[in-house]
Chain A
Amino acid sequence: MPSDDASPLFSERAGFGRRTINVLNGNPTIIPMLVLVVGVLAFSLIVGERFLHPFNLSLVLQQVTVIGVLALAQTLIILTAGIDLSVGAIMVLSSIAMGHLSVQLGLPPALSLMIGIATGGVCGALNGIFITLLRLPPFIVTLGTWSIFNSVLQFWSNGQTIRQQEIAVDAPILQWTGTAVRAGAAQLTLGSLLMLGLALLLWYILNRTAYGRHIYAVGNDPTAARLSGINTRRVLFSVYVLAGLICGVAGWILIGRIGAVSPLGGATANLDSITAVVIGGTSLFGGRGSIAGTLMGALIVGLFRNGLALAGLDVLWQEFAIGILIIMAVGFDQWLRRISA
C-alpha cells in the first residue's frame, strides 16, 4: 500500500484502549488518586460527618506521618528496582542514637540529632556497599541488615525506653516534631509538615534534576543507563545513603509522635512502608512511580484504617482490606506491564 509507505515513521493511530494504557503508563498516580477519591466518597457516605471532619482527617495525616516518611525513602529504593527491609530498624536505631547521646551521655541535643540522622545515613551506606560493591540482591542484604540493626539497637538501648519526661527536660528538640499546629479545626504536627516538605524536596530531585532522572533510568533499564554514560553503581549507592538519611529523619519524627525513645517501635514499619509505596502505584520492577503516589498510598492506608474503624469494623478487617488493596495494586501494575510490553 503506497499510501502507508508515505506515512511518516511517527504517526499515531492508536485506539481508545491503547491511548488509555499510554496515559496510565505515563501517569502512574492516576490510579491511587482514583482509589483515594472513591475511598473518601465511600467512607463519607458510610460513616458520614465524622469521617470528613477536618480534625479526623488531620488525625489520619498524623497517623501516617512516620510510615509516610519511611515510604518516601522506600520509594527511592523501589524506583531503582531494589527493596529495603531495614528502613524501620534504621529509623529506630537513629532515634535511639539521638536519645542515648543527648539524654544519657549529655551531648548537646542538636548535635545528637545530627548524629542520629547521620547514623541512618551510615546504615544506608552499609546496605549500599553490600548491594553495589558485593553485588548482592537488595532483598537478602536488607533482610540481613534488618536483623543486624535490630540487634545493634537492642544492645545500644539495653532494651530500655527513654521516658518522655527525661527527653522533655534534657533534649526537647527531639520532641519538636510532635509540636501541634492548629489550622482551623484541623490539627497538624510539625512532623507532618516536615514529611510534606521532604516529599516536595524529593519530588524536585526526582523530576527536576538529572540525578533524579538517572534514578528512574537505573531502575528501569540498568544496561541502557550504563550505556548512556550513567555511573549506575554510584547512583544506586547514593540512593541507599539518601534513603538511610531519610530514615534518620523518620526516627526524629517517631520521637515526636510517641514522645519517648523505645527500642520496640517500628516492628511492622518495614512492611507498612512497602505497602504505601505499592498502593501508591510505584512498580516493584523499578523505574516507574512517583513521590505523590507514595503520599497517596500512605494516605489511602490511613484513611481506610480510620474509615473502617469509624464504621465499627474490627482491626482484623482493616488488615484484610489493606491486603486486598496491595494485591490489587500489584496485580494492576503487572497487567499494565504485560499489555504495554
Chain B
Amino acid sequence: MMTPDLPRDAQGQLPILAARDLRKAFGRVVAMDGADFDLYPGEILAVIGDNGAGKSSMISALAGAMRPDSGNIWLDGKPVRFASPMDAREAGVETVFQTLAMAPALTIVDNLFLGREYRKPGLQGAIFRTLDRRRMRAEARDHLSQLGLMTIQNIDQIVETLSGGQRQGVAVARACAFGSRVIILDEPTAALGVKETRKVLDLIRDVRERGIAIVLISHNMPNVFEIADRVHIHRLGRRIAQVRPSELSMSDAVAIMTGAMEPPEPDPKGYHHVQTG
C-alpha cells in the first residue's frame, strides 16, 4: 500500500479520516473515479454533489457499507479496510443513514442499544442472557441529556410516536453514544420542517463541540453554508474542489457542482494545500 502523504490542516493536524483514489464500477457505470477525501478533527465537512455524482458511493465506502474496487482509506493515519458498517463502527466511524436505521415499533432505549445491548453482570447475564435494562435506560438518558434532547421525554416511548426531528435526534444520539470519533450524517434534514431543521443543525453543532468530526451530506445549500466549516464538492465520481463557505457564494458552489463553472482551484493528485478553518 502506498504510504500516505496526507495534507495537514491549518493547525498542523492530519486528517482523522482520509481516502485516496477510490474507484468503483457497477458494470459500465463508474460510481467512483479516483475519489479523494479528507476530514479533519473537530470540523463539520459538508459533501455536496449533483444526483449521480457518486457521493453516496464514496460515503458508503467510508462507512463500510460498500467495498471500493481499489483505493485506500486511513483512519487516524492508519490504513483501514471496512468490510461492513459494523467494522467501521467498531473503528469509531458511525453513520446515520437517511433512513435512520431505527426500528419504529421499538422504544428509544431499544433503538439506542440495538445490536449492542448490555447484559447483566454475573451468572444472570452469562447464562440467562438477561438484558441490563436499568443500565441501558440510565445511559440512554445520559446520552440524550448530554445533547440537550432530554426534557420530559419518556425513554420507553416507541420511536414511531416521535416527530421526524426527534427521531433524527435519537439517531444522532446513538451515533455519539459509543465513543465514536467520526459521524457521517446522510441528509439529516431532508424530511424535516423549518423549525425542526434548525434544532437538528444546533444538535450537529453540539456534537462538534464534543470533539467529534462530522461529515454532512446534504442537498440543502443554505444549511450547508450555514453550518459547514469546509465544503467538499463532488462531481463525476471524484472530488473537484474543497472550499470554505465564506469564500464562495452558494450559486457558485452549485455551478461548480453541476459543471457550469470551473472549480476555483483544481484538486489534482498530490494537492497539498488545504484550506481549513
Tell me the A residues contacting B by CB distance below 8 Å: 4-5, 8-12, 18, 21-22, 25-26, 204, 208-211, 213-214, 216-217, 220-221, 223-225, 227-230, 287-288, 340-341
A46 to B185, CA, bound (A): 61
* Pairwise interchain contact B131-A208, C-beta atoms closer than 8 A: yes
A217 and B86 within 8 A (CB): no
Contact yes or no, B85 A229, CB < 8 A: yes
B105 on the A face (CB < 8 A): yes
Is B131 touching A209 in the complex (CB atoms < 8 A)? yes
Closest Cβ–Cβ distance, residue A16 to chain B (whole Å) = 14
Contact: A213 with B150, CB < 8 Å? no
Chain B interfacial residues counted at CB < 8 A: 45
Inter-chain contact A220/B115, CB cutoff 8 Å: no
Are A5 and B195 closer than 8 Å at their CB atoms? yes
For residue B101, which residues in chain A have a CB less than 8 angstroms away from its CB? 221, 223-224, 227-228
A288 to B105, CA, bound (A): 7
Cross-chain contact B151 with A224 (CB below 8 angstroms): no
Write out the residue numbers on chain B whose beta carbons fall within 8 Å of the beta carbon of A211: 129
> Are A209 and B129 interface neighbours, CB within 8 A?
yes
Bound-state Cα–Cα, A54 to B104, Å = 42
Pick the contact of A9: B103, B131, B161, B165 (CB < 8 A). Answer: B165
* A95–B89 alpha-carbon span in the complex (Å): 48
Q: Once bound together, how far apart are the Cα atoms of A229 and B160, in whole Å? A: 21
| Mask: chain B, 124-153; 1 = CB below 8 Å from A; 0 = not | 000011110100000000001000111111
User: Contact: B114 with A22, CB < 8 Å?
Assistant: no
A-B contact pairs, 27 of them (CB 8 A): A5-B195, A9-B149, A9-B165, A9-B196, A9-B200, A9-B203, A10-B144, A10-B150, A12-B152, A18-B161, A22-B157, A22-B158, A25-B160, A208-B130, A210-B131, A214-B115, A216-B105, A217-B110, A220-B104, A220-B105, A221-B101, A224-B102, A225-B114, A225-B115, A228-B101, A229-B116, A287-B105
- Counting from the closest, the 4 A-B pairs by CB-CB distance are A229-B115, A228-B115, A227-B101, A210-B117
Task: Point out the residue from B89, B152, B203 that lies within 8 Å of A11, measured CB to CB.
Answer: B152
Name the distance in Å between A229's Cβ and chain B's nearest Cβ. Answer: 4
B115 to chain A, nearest CB (A): 4
Residue numbers in B under 8 Å from A25 (CB-CB): 105, 158, 160-161
What distance in Å separates the Cβ of B88 from its nearest Cβ neighbour in chain A?
11
Given A5-B195, A9-B166, A220-B106, do A213 and B114 touch, yes or no (CB 8 Å)?
yes
B117 touches A213 (CB 8 A): yes
- Given contacts A208-B131, A221-B102, are A8 and B97 in contact (CB under 8 A)? no
**Cβ distance A291 to chain B, nearest Cβ, rounded Å:** 16
Contacts of B105 in A (CB 8 A): 25, 216, 220, 287-288
Given contacts A11-B151, A210-B131, contact A26 B117 (CB under 8 A): no
B132 CB to closest chain A CB, in angstroms? 10
